[in-house]
Amino acid sequence: MWGVYLWKLRLLLFIPIVLYGIWIFTTGAYPSYYLIVIAIYTLICSIILHKMEKKEKKEKQ
């Protein structure tokens, strides 16, 4: 069941990272505290996706 929605979830979780990258390259500003926030966000999103992929593999078996 999760497999149908995993690509949509990946896209939704990836959008803030792309927007952050665009903002950095257009403004030239590079505040380090935003980098820490985006790193934590990426870590949490990776953990969520990893758990959901495990559930998907488990459901298929």
User: Residue 4 and residue 35: Cα distance in Å, rounded?
Assistant: 31
pTM: 0.66
- Which DSSP string do the residues of 2-60 spell out, in sequence order? HHHHHHHHHHHHHHHHHHHHHHHHHH----HHHHHHHHHHHHHHHHHHHHHHHHHHHHH
pLDDT of residue 1: 58
Task: Locate the domains of the chain by residue range.
Answer: 2-60
Cβ neighbours for 48, distance < 8 A, ≥ 6 positions apart: 9, 13
pLDDT of residue 3: 63
What would the pLDDT profile of 1-52 be if each residue is shown by its tens digit?
556 677 777 788 888 888 887 887 788 777 777 778 888 888 888 888 888 8
